[in-house]
Amino acid sequence: MRIWKPSTLHDRPGIWGPWLTLALGAGIAVVFLLVQLGIMFIFSFYESGHGRPPGVGTAAAGLGNNGLAFSLMTMGSAAACTLLTWWAVRLRPGIQPAAYLGLRRVPARTVLAWLAVTMALMIAFNLLEPLIAHPQAHHFTLSLYRSAVSAPLFWFAIAVAGPAFEEVFFRGFLLPGLRYSRLGAAGAVIFTALVWAVSHAQYSGPEVAEIFVFGLVLGTARLRTDSLYPPLAMHAFLNIAALLQAAFMVDGH
C-alpha cells in the first residue's frame, strides 16, 4: 500500500509567490494575535467583575492557564483567521480556494497509513521522553485541562478548531506559496515546521522540539498526498492523544 504519489502543485497556475505569501501570512498572523488579545481582554473584564480592564501583562498572566479562556481564544481566532486565509487565496483571480489549500479527497487507506506514521512518531516521542523530559513538560496542557470549565468546549478547541486553522494556514497556504521559491520543497517544509513550532512557545523546550519534528512529517504528508486531509487528520489525532494523556494524568492519577 502506497502512501505517496507525486504532487501536482506545480500543475496549478496562479499560486501566490513567496513574498506575497509571506506578506499575506504575516497579516493573517497579526489578525490572529489581535483576535486573541481582544477575546482575552473581554474575558478578563468579565472575570474581574466589570471593573477596570487589566493591562496586557496582567491579563495574560491571569489567563495563561485558564482552560475556558484558552478555548474561547482558540476558537475565535481559528474561525476568524481560517476565513481570512480563504479570502487571501480568493484574492488571486481564477483560483479555487479549495484546490489551492489542498482540500481534495484521498483514499481512506492513505489517511490511515499516515495516521499509522503519526502513531509510530508518538511512540518514539514517549520512548525518548525519559531521556529529554523537562520538569515543566506537560505543565501547560495539564493546567489548561484542570481549569477547563466546559470539557466539550475545550476538546472542540484543541481537537478541531486549532488543528483546522493551523493546517489551513501552515500546510494549506504557506507551504504551496514557498515551495517554488529558492527554499524548494524541503526548505518550505522545514520553514513552515519551524514557524509552527515557534508559535507554540508556551510549551517546554522538548515539547517544542517534538512539535517541530511533527511539523516536518505534516509537511511531507501534505506534499506527498497533494491533500490537506491527511495532515488535518494527523494533527487532530495527535491532539486527541495529548488530551487523553492529560485526562489520564489528572483524573486517573
Per 3-state DSSP, what percentage of the chain is helix, strand, and coil (rounded to 5)? 75, 0, 25
Q: Tell me the residue ranges of DSSP E strands in 74-217.
A: none
Interacting residues of 92 by C-beta distance below 8 A, sequence separation 6+:
14, 15, 16, 100
pLDDT single digits (tens) 108-140: 999 999 999 999 999 998 888 776 655 554 666
pLDDT single digits (tens) 131-186: 665 555 466 677 777 777 788 899 999 999 999 999 999 999 999 999 988 899 99
Name which of 215, 193, 226, 221 is nearest 10 in CA terms: 226
Q: CB–CB of 117/217 below 8 Å? A: yes
Handedness of CA 4, 16, 215, 146 (dihedral sign): negative
Distances (CA, A) of 40 to 56, 92, 154: 9, 33, 16
pLDDT single digits (tens) 33-90: 999 989 888 877 776 665 555 544 444 445 556 778 888 999 999 999 999 999 999 9
Q: Give the span between the Cα atoms of 143 and 202, in whole angstroms.
A: 12
Domain ranges for the chain, please list them: 15-251
Q: Give the span between the Cα atoms of 53 and 43, in whole angstroms.
A: 10
Q: What is the largest CA-CA distance in the chain?
A: 61
Of the two residues 206 and 44, the one the predictor is more confident about is: 206
Nearest 5°: the CA angle 218, 76, 191 is 30
Residue 253 neighbours by CB distance under 10 Å? 5
Q: Give the span between the Cα atoms of 213 and 103, in whole angstroms.
A: 23
Cell of 64: 495563561
The whole-model pTM stands at: 0.85
**What pLDDT score was predicted for residue 252?**
64
Residue 177 neighbours by CB distance under 10 Å? 23
